[in-house]
Amino acid sequence: MNNKILLEDCIEEFKKSNQINLPNDDVFELFSLSQISKRYNLSYDDIENSIVDGSKDGGIDFFLILADDTIVDDGDQLDDLQLSNSNVVRIFVGQSKNIDSFKEVILDKIYISIASIFDLEVEDDKLHSSFNENLTEKILLFRKVWRKAITKGAKIQIEYFYSCKSNEKHESETFLTKCNLIKSSTSEKVQNCEVFYNSYSAKELLDLYRKRPDAELELKFKEIPVPVNYSNNSIGYIGVVKVPDYFSFIVSEDKTIRETIFEENIRHFQGDVDVNRTIKDSLQNDLERDFWWLNNGITIICSKVGQYGKSLVLSNVQIVNGLQTSFTIAKFYSPIENDDRSLLIKIIVSTDKKTIDKIIAATNRQTPVNPVLLRATDDVQRKLEMFFEQKGYFYDRRKNYYKNQGKPSSKIFGIQSTAQIIHSMMNYKPSEARAKPTTLIKTQESYSKIFKENVDFNVYLEYCLISKKVLEYIKAIEDKDNRSIAKAFSYHIFRVIVSLAVKKSHPIPSDIVQNISTETINKILIGEAVNWVMNEIESFKQSSKTQNLTSISKSGLFDEHLSNGLKKKYA
């Protein structure tokens, strides 16, 4: 029983360090999902958005879609989603149960659900009647990604998993038979895809929990790297590294790419584009010319360097330019004996956030980049980060920066989720925030309507804190149907609760500063806001042509309906 006892201690530490105030079942769910998805370096928001359990969940607790290693969680990403035959679409369908054994009945539920999930002939209305809104939305999104993947020749992998607190894996023959039935049924529905089923007992979860990102990595140079000093004792290094040694630097012992050292790079691997085909061709076929003659090289930022002969030991490594080269090497290069070709490496030692931002922006503007990826370097974003930190909270403008530093999840707010919250509360557009999360800050016009330097930053922080309180309340709703609906309409509840708190249909930022405090947003007020939105949903159904909750939650007409109701209340 040692594994189970130790796991309980780790879960308690996870709960304490992240300041989570939820029932034990929910804590175990968050803990196990955080460990199982650790290899993809998801944010807390990513994990929360992928949880679909509750009423009519089809036996599914977690539904995640990844294109390579980039999460896809809303339809407005599809236009920008570049897929080719070198890309992999990964689907994770998971069950996390706070019990001591692997129950076969749980597999029965998901086996029945497969018939609807992966059958394109099953219409949307049937899905809405069979599953809750959160799961239905994920299924419909997967179908769109699936079709795009097929037309572009991308590979598809589907991985099922089941986690529980069993001391070790004790899977009966019947359990394993049902796992195989799930795999075979999925393969019949989604042809030419790889299907896996993995079980996680306390032992496997402990192994994942112990696995930490590499704090220090050694990089061996071909010759002693040249140190370059600058003012105020700033230092950097320039040198060349053999391609096989760089391969060992970016690929871990289990042959997977060290994803954590690429977090600050604003783009992920772009797949089979021209530049990557050229890099791949040079690696595999051109042994006559040194590789660094044909390549722009790699830029690395780290916080500390230790030099030992021709090697540098780097702390807190971040590769901020050269991801395409790095991933092409990791994916398509096999170390060749006596391969003497080299790669040009530039290393900058710095812990100054502003300097790091400028380096990231400068090194990534040499080729066209979607502007949304560079928002993190905007001045207003840096100021928000500074302000939040002064108040004891963490504005995660660079994804997972504070998560990787061990800051509590209850105090971390990301750019995208903050933009959605602000758009709901300050601009009265909860449906747009729900429907277009990634495009809200894509254009300068929409971005400037959300992040304004002339707005008191206390207001932005207060919006975020209110949203946390509301989400905690929603998670504790006992009726599973109501909880599922409230989660789908959470941005509308954010919008309404501010009006209820200040007794005004369209509150402005100064109303927030003057009238709202931590004590104002209590359970009674949140309950009133939830009930208000629930009643308005029913009222809207009667006056509109649609009964589909997902469509209503993304409808601008419903925003107007809410606003009109609040105008009447506070006339």
Q: How far apart are CA 563 and CA 552, in angstroms?
A: 15
Q: What are 555's two structure tokens? A: 């409808």
Nearest-10 Cα torsion for 420, 426, 428, 429: -20
Strand order in the sheet with 155-163: 70-71, 62-67, 88-96, 155-163, 194-200
Closest CA to 181 of 115, 117, 135: 115
**What is the per-residue pLDDT for 369?**
46
DSSP per-residue letters across 34-55:
HHHTGGGT--HHHHHHHB--ST
- What is d(CA 184, CA 359) in angstroms, rounded to the nearest whole number? 49
For the chain, give every domain's residue range.
2-210, 216-363, 371-403+407-569
Q: Given this model, what pLDDT does residue 27 score?
A: 92
Tokens of 72: 């896809």
Per-residue pLDDT tens over the stretch 328-382? 888 888 888 788 999 999 999 987 777 777 777 666 654 444 444 567 778 888 8
Tens-place pLDDT, residues 104-162: 888 999 999 998 999 988 888 889 889 998 999 999 999 999 999 999 888 999 999 99
Task: Identify the three-state secondary structure at position 71.
Answer: strand
The interaxial angle of helices 323-332 and 274-285, nearest 10 deg, is 50
pLDDT of residue 325: 87
Q: What is the pLDDT of residue 367?
A: 46
pLDDT at 371: 45
- Calpha distance 486→484 (Å, rounded): 6
- What pTM does this model have? 0.76
Q: What is the DSSP string of 274-324?
A: HHHHHHHHHHHH--SS-GGGGS--EEEEESEEEEETTEEEEES-EEEE-HH
- Phi-psi map region of 14: left, alpha, beta (phi>0 left; psi -120 to 50 alpha): alpha
- Tokens 């309404």 -> residue: 496
Among 514, 513, 437, 424, smallest CA distance to 467 is for 424
pLDDT tens by residue, 240-272: 999 999 999 999 877 788 877 887 665 666 666
> pLDDT at position 213, please?
60
Distance of alpha carbon 22 from alpha carbon 328, whole angstroms: 42
Give me the pLDDT at residue 398, please. 74
pLDDT of res. 282:
79
Per DSSP, the residues of 360-381 read HHHHTSSS---GGGGGGGSHHH
How does DSSP classify residue 439?
T
Per-residue pLDDT at 283: 82
Residue segments in the chain with a per-residue pLDDT below the cut of 70? 69, 212-215, 231-233, 264-275, 361-374, 404
Tell me the per-residue pLDDT of 288-308, one tens digit each, with 9 for 90 and over: 889 888 888 999 998 889 888
| pLDDT for 55 | 85
Q: Is residue 25 a contact partner of residue 18, using CB atoms and an 8 Å limit?
A: no
Mean per-residue pLDDT over the chain, rounded: 87
- Cα torsion angle, 72, 73, 78, 79, sign: negative
